[in-house]
Chains A and B, each alone.
Chain A
Amino acid sequence: MSAVDITPHSPEKTSMSIRSVINNAGIGIALLLMILFFSVASEHFLSANNITNILTQITINLVLAVGMTFVILIGGIDLSVGSVMAFAAVVAGKAITLPGLGATELIILAVLAGVLAGMVCGILNGVVSAYWSLPSFIITLGMLNIARGAALQISGAQTIYSFPFAFEEFGSKLIYGVPVVFLVALTLVVIAWFVLNRTVFGRLIYGIGNNEEAVRLAGHPVFWYKVAAFSICGLTAGIAAIIYMARLNISSPIAGIGFELNAIAAVIIGGTSLSGGRGSVIGTLLGAFIIGVLANGLILIGLSDFVRQMITGLVIVIAVILDHYRAKYSAS
């Protein structure tokens, strides 16, 4: 399957893969330096417990960021993922607390309902922004409010609780110290990597971000590819909702406020260009790790909440500046 050959930018393909290795290596080195710093600064940082903690803590952001990578690669943005996650969690929460069903049926029903709810929001985002060629920034800003309002309406602004035990167990289960929910996230990264790098669909996602018109002229249905990118993002928001519920054993309609920004930050720190067409989901994985390690490590070394917030902001800005030079360097 030589899918890569139909990429509109096939002459660039070799340099692109080299560049992507260099990009990821840069982020990887930054992450390693951070880990090195925190392990010297805090005796607890590299403890088995803390590593489990970090893996748990980055899971939801990573899941959201995987979907976000697809949208940003086509040159879009999805501001609604935090709200969509809350909406999906409330829908799944309503399903899982239905009376008169067994635990297994309830869990299956809730997972399907939550994932479907997320996907529907994603499809709407995609259809509306692609059909009318509207900026996804505005459309997903609309969805941010629609989904949040729907979550509050359906739940009556009440926290939904008391889920089947098996569901809760899944949320806190560890395999050799690795949270099962993190393995779910990692599986999504692997699937996304395969789709983006080894399928026609994936190469066209890059293609649309690079030169939408060229892809269209080559006879590909750009509309549907865009809808697909947004529905993948909605899908991951639905999966994040299920993980949220399993971990915390509640569904809160005010969950996930501002999560979209962390997901976008993970993607951008991971070296994916905000203007689309360039980046990788492996970068996103590293980006999510950088944010998670930072949040964890800065608490461990005892920095105040406010300083912590400033440093996190600073890292995002530095990442974008680096990206600017990276783009300039690779263009010349």
Chain B
Amino acid sequence: MKLMKFAAAAATSILLSTSIAAADDKPVVGLIMKSLANEFFQNMLAGAEAHAEKRGDYELRAVGMQNETDFESQINAVENFITQGVDAIVVAPADSKAMVRPLKRAMEAGIVVINFDVALDEGAKKQQGVDLAFVGPDNRGGAKMAGDALGSALGEGAKVVIIEGNPGADNATQRRLGFEDAVAEHKLNLLDSRTAHWETEEANQVFATMLTANPDIQGVMAANDSMAIGVVKALESAGRSDIKVVGFDAIPAVLPMIEDGRLLASVDQFGQEMAANSIDLALDVLAGGPQLEGWVKTPIELVAGE
């Protein structure tokens, strides 16, 4: 126990000394992302680093996590940033409930906090008495756009299935709800909805089996493009070119598929710019601008072929 305290004190003093060493007049922005093993956050990091270099009027300190569910290390990152005395924290929470308390502590320490990408839980915010705006895309609205594209291509009554992301993940839930909104609006016939944990190979297997169970499927909505690729490959193996697929994220690997029609559409939420835009907002507040309120929606766009 004593040793732990000592270690903590030592760690704190090291962090303090680095923050003193870095003390010039530029504001320091701490950027906390989710898993850097995820292409989306990797691109976001690259976008933020380019942004920091281009603006040149702030210092960027970015951290990511080992994997999507490692929210312990995000909490530690917030605490480290508080100790370092950064001016602003820009955070994509891995867990929309667990992150509220540490972020509250950061705000109490006078740090400007911007919540982006995944919204903190409203109930948890209310419970902790935290008032914090959200900067991010409308995952549900984006999924609805993809679903609408599919719905108008297929027409009323078409038989569709959903390939979901990780059960319990907020963006997975929002995208599923968005797909379901499109199903309701276009009066589609939803045959089945299953998770493939965001993964290509699993989506390939799960969808191939769903297709066997329901050979009359006409459309597929995949909650990310990695899974959409797995679906497209399963359709190719089954020799079915009559089934339409939509994805989400518009990653580079699917752009040729959209061009040649194997994928009907995907949704770009401009992840690369999302962190950079949030940092801009944080710096505006730091410069004396008004506090953000409610939901600052970031752009999303349907990417479809000709």
Cβ contacts under 8 Å, B233 to chain A: 172, 247-249
Contact string, A31-56, partner B, CB cutoff 8 A, digits 1/0? 00000000000101001011001001
Q: Roughly how many angstroms separate A47 CA and B204 CA in the complex, as a whole number?
A: 19
B-binding segment of A6-14, A108-116, A203-211, A251-259: A251-259
Min CB distance B306 to A, Å, is 20
Interface residues of B in 216-230 (CB under 8 A from A): 226, 229-230
Determine whether the beta carbon of B201 is less than 8 Å from that of A60.
yes
Nearest chain A CB to B73 CB, angstrom units: 15
> In the complex, which of the residues A156, A157, A257 has the most CB atoms of chain B within 10 Å of its own CB atom?
A157
A57 and B199 form a contact (CB under 8 A): no
Instruction: Check A296 for interface membership: any CB of B closer than 8 A.
Output: yes
Question: What are 27 A-B contacts with C-beta separation under 8 Å?
Answer: A42-B213, A47-B212, A49-B238, A148-B37, A157-B36, A157-B39, A157-B42, A158-B39, A159-B226, A162-B256, A172-B233, A244-B201, A247-B204, A247-B233, A248-B204, A249-B229, A252-B199, A252-B200, A253-B37, A255-B199, A256-B201, A257-B199, A295-B209, A299-B206, A299-B213, A302-B213, A305-B194
- A157 pairs with B37, CB closer than 8 A: yes
| Interchain CB contact (< 8 A) of A57 among B39, B205, B210 | B205
Is B38 close to A, CB under 8 A?
yes
A179, closest chain B residue (CB): B237
Residue of A nearest to B38 (CB): A157
Complex partner residue of B42 from A156, A250, A257, CB under 8 angstroms: A156
A261 at the interface (CB under 8 A from B): no
Q: How far is the CB of A146 from chain B (nearest CB, A)?
A: 14
| CB-based contact A254/B38 at 8 Å | yes
Q: Which 3 residue pairs are nearest across A and B when measured between Cβ atoms? A: A157-B42, A161-B253, A299-B209
Residue of B nearest to A298 (CB): B209
List which B71-92 residues lie within 8 A (CB) of chain A: none
- Assess the B199–A161 pair: CB atoms within 8 A: no
The reply to whether A299 and B194 form a contact with Cβ atoms under 8 Å apart is yes
Query: Which of B42, B167, B208 gathers most chain A CB within 10 Å?
Result: B208
A255 and B200: CB pair below 8 A?
A: yes
The reply to whether B205 and A250 contact each other, CB–CB distance below 8 Å, is no
- Which residues of B sit under 8 angstroms from A253, Cβ to Cβ? 37
Residues of B near A57 (CB, < 8 A) are: 205, 208-209
A200 within 8 A of partner (CB): no
Distance of A217 from chain B, by nearest CB (Å): 45
Report the minimal beta-carbon distance from A257 to chain B, rounded to whole angstroms: 7
A152 part of interface (Cβ distance < 8 Å)? yes
Contact of A103 with B by CB under 8 A: no
Task: Say whether chain B's binding surface is mostly helix, strand, loop, or mixed.
Answer: helix
How far does the Cβ of A262 sit from chain B's closest Cβ, in whole Å? 11
CB distance from B238 to the nearest CB of A (A): 7
Tell whether A183 is near chain B: CB-to-CB under 8 Å: no
Task: Judge if A315 is at the interface, Cβ distance under 8 Å.
Answer: no
In the assembled complex, the Cα of A255 lies from the Cα of B253 at a distance in Å of 15
Cα of A42 to Cα of B215 in the assembled complex, Å:
13
- B38, A172: Cβ atoms under 8 Å? no
Q: Is the CB of A56 within 8 A of B212?
A: no
Interface residues of B in 244-258 (CB under 8 A from A): 251-253, 256
Query: Which residues of chain B (7-60) have a CB below 8 Å from chain A?
Result: 36-39, 42
With A157-B38, A249-B233 given, name 10 new contacts (CB 8 A).
Answer: A156-B42, A158-B42, A159-B251, A159-B252, A172-B233, A172-B236, A248-B229, A252-B200, A296-B212, A306-B167
CB neighbours of B206 from chain A (8 A): 299
The listed residue (A162, A250, A300) touching B212 by CB distance below 8 A is A300
- Flag whether B278 is at the interface (Cβ < 8 A): no
Taking CB atoms and an 8 Å cut-off, the chain A residues in 144-179 that contact chain B are 148, 152, 156-159, 161-162, 172
- How far is it, in angstroms, between the C-alpha of A47 and the C-alpha of B212 when the chains are bound? 9
Which residues 112-129 of B have a CB within 8 angstroms of A? Answer: none
Check: B269 CB closer than 8 A to any chain A CB. no
Chain A residue at minimal CB-CB distance from B45:
A157
User: When the two chains form their complex, are residues B200 and A250 in contact, meaning their CB atoms are under 8 A apart?
Assistant: yes
- A229-259 at interface with B (beta carbon < 8 Å): 244, 247-250, 252-257
Q: Does B139 contact A (CB under 8 A)?
A: no
Report how far A247 CA is from B260 CA in the complex, Å. 19
Interface string of B148-175 (1 = CB under 8 A from A): 0000000000000000000100000000
Give chain A nearest CB distance to B175 CB in angstroms. Answer: 16
Chain B's closest residue to A148 (CB) is B37
B266 interfacial by beta-carbon distance below 8 Å:
no
User: Please, which residue of chain A has its CB at the minimum distance from the CB of B40?
Assistant: A157
**A51-94 with Cβ < 8 A to chain B:** 53, 56-57, 60
Complexed CA–CA distance, A158 and B225 (Å): 13
A57 to B196, CA, bound (A): 14
Residues of B within 8 Å of A162, CB to CB, are 253, 256
Residues of B within 8 A of A158 (CB): 39, 42, 252
Q: Which residues of B contact A302 (CB under 8 A)?
A: 192, 213
Q: Is the CB of B236 within 8 A of A248?
A: no
**Cα distance, A255 to B37, chains bound together (Å):** 11
Q: Which residues from B are CB-within-8-Å of A172?
A: 233, 236-237
Q: In the complex, what distance in Å separates the CA atom of A327 from the CA atom of B233?
A: 43
